[in-house]
Amino acid sequence: MSELTTKLTAKDFASDQEVRWCPGCGDYSILKQIQTVLPDFGRPKEEFVFISGIGCSSRFPYYMDTYGMHSIHGRATAIATGLKSTRPDLSVWVITGDGDSLSIGGNHFIHLLRRNPDINILLFNNQIYGLTKGQYSPTSEQGKVTKSTPMGSLDFPFNPIALSLGADATFVARTLDRDPKHQQMIYKRGYEHKGTSMIEIYQNCNVFNDGAFEIFTEKGTKKQETLFMEAGKPLLFGENIEKGIKLDGLKPTIVDVTEGTANDLWIHDETDLTKATILSRFFDDPAMENHFPRPFGIFYVNENKSPFEKLFNDQIEFSKTTYGSGDLDKLLAGKETWVVN
């Protein structure tokens, strides 16, 4: 990793390509926040690689003046695994969407998380297929009426956070396009994490699924419906931060903190997998009565699992120190030879 003497700016990370997402798309904000945080890492831009699959979000690498690959549907995770394994010196980012990572690329996605190379995944979740013009996605709510499901979709949605925890991901977070500061904080934490960072971003598709996350972003509902988790702090939410989450054994309950119960509130611990699992299940339909707010922030971090590329290359080094660098002549001769005169 090289150190820079002069700090780069967001502009240094913008390519000469005209950005071609629909006006008003949530992708613009994500691009801007990434271009804003990258200079803070103090590394030259040639050390960053953005790899994407297929979908609206996957155009992202073209707009970054870094190395990049706009690959094929669902496979960015596998390509990134190959690159990071062989080039641990690079900062590798996967840009993907809900269809790309959870439908066609679902297999590679879970296996990337299980292997845990030091790759950052930005999962743009807009709960719809945008590029193919409006079919339901694996994160769409059941009953979604779209071009391909005029009577409503039948399948239940994936919960990307729960799925990632189930695959033993070592960094699992959620942020949203409308909150630049929160995004930047999460991206920095994801970058710093040594292992795969799975960052789900609620991203509005204003053409095919406008307002999907309105309830979490609009003034009137935002404070009631969102729970911003901070390590070491109690889980609080509500219009006037009047509500909190308490754990009754393993059962979470919503309590009114104005009634003097503030002391036994659930204190967020990013390293507690059990609690992260419970939080990941705060996935209720907001229309339900007594539903839980939707958590944002870092659900879980595990710094104790070695990144895949380290284990991968350690074996190579171990083999070299144990057996010495390979001798091709010896290898070609094999164990048994004979001479013909």
Partner 1 sequence: MATVETTLESVVIRFSGDSGDGKQHTGNKFTNSTALLGNDLATFPDFPAEIRAPIGTVAGVSGFQIHFGSTKINTPGDRCDVLVVMNAAALKVNLKALKQGGVIIVNTDGFDAKNLRLANIPEEQNPLKNGSLAGYDVKEIDVTKITRTALAGSGLGVKEIDRCKNMFVLGLLYWMYHRSLDNTIKFINSKFKKNPAIAEANVKVLNAGWNYGETTEMFAQRYNVAPAKMEPGVYRGVMGNQAVALGLIAASVKSKLPLFYGTYPITPASDVLHELSKYKNFDIKTLQAEDEIAGICTSIGAAFGGHLAVTGSSGPGIALKTEAIGLATMLELPLVIVNVQRAGPSTGMPTKTEQADLLQAFYGRNGECPVVVIAAQSPADCFTMAFEACRIALEHMLPVFLLTDGYIANGAEPWKFPLTKDLPEIPVSFAKERENAIDKYLPYTRDNKLARPWALPGTKGLTHRIGGLEKQNLTGDISYDPENHEQMVKIRQQKVDLVENYIPEQMLSCGADEGDLLIIGWGGTYGALKTAAGQLIEQGYKVSHAHIQYLNPFPKNLGEMLKRFKKVVVAELNNGQLVKILRDKYFVDAIAYNKIQGQPFMSSEVVQKMQDILTDK
Binding site for partner 1 (CB under 8 A): 15-17, 44-47, 49, 51, 54, 61-62, 64-73, 75, 78-87, 89-90, 107-108, 111, 312, 315-316, 318-320, 322-326, 328-329, 331-334, 336-341
Q: Which is nearer to partner 1, 240 or 322 (CB)?
A: 322
Q: Least distance in Å: CB of 311 to partner 1?
A: 12
d(CA 112, CA 93): 12
d(CA 61, CA 52): 7
HSE-up of residue 25 (Cα within 13 Å, Cβ side)? 22
Q: Which is nearer to partner 1, 259 or 336 (CB)?
A: 336
Q: Which is nearer to partner 1, 51 or 185 (CB)?
A: 51
Q: Least distance in Å: CB of 34 to partner 1?
A: 15
Q: Which is nearer to partner 1, 121 or 227 (CB)?
A: 121
Q: Which is nearer to partner 1, 42 or 326 (CB)?
A: 326
Q: Least distance in Å: CB of 76 to partner 1?
A: 8
Q: Which is nearer to partner 1, 69 or 215 (CB)?
A: 69
H/E run at residue 79: helix 76-86
Neighbours of 114 (CB within 10 A): 13
Q: Which two tokens stand for residue 150?
A: 């005029």
129 contacts 137 by C-beta, under 8 angstroms: yes
Q: Least distance in Å: CB of 130 to partner 1?
A: 17
Q: Least distance in Å: CB of 67 to partner 1?
A: 4
CA torsion sign, 121 to 43 to 310 to 79? positive
Place of tokens 């609206």: 56
d(CA 215, CA 251): 25
Q: Least distance in Å: CB of 163 to partner 1?
A: 15
Q: Is 283 left (phi over 0), alpha (psi -120 to 50) or beta?
A: alpha
Q: Least distance in Å: CB of 194 to partner 1?
A: 19
Q: Least distance in Å: CB of 191 to partner 1?
A: 17
296 contacts 178 by C-beta, under 8 angstroms: no
Q: Least distance in Å: CB of 69 to partner 1?
A: 6
Q: Give the CA radius of gyration of the chain.
A: 23
Helix/strand/coil (H/E/C) assignment for every residue in 186-244: HHHHHHHCCCCEEEEEECCCCCCCCCCCHHHHCHHHHHHHEEECCCCCECEECCCCCEE
Q: Which is nearer to partner 1, 114 or 147 (CB)?
A: 114
Neighbours of 338 (CB within 10 A): 4
d(CA 6, CA 95): 28
Q: Which is nearer to partner 1, 89 or 192 (CB)?
A: 89
Q: Which is nearer to partner 1, 109 or 136 (CB)?
A: 109
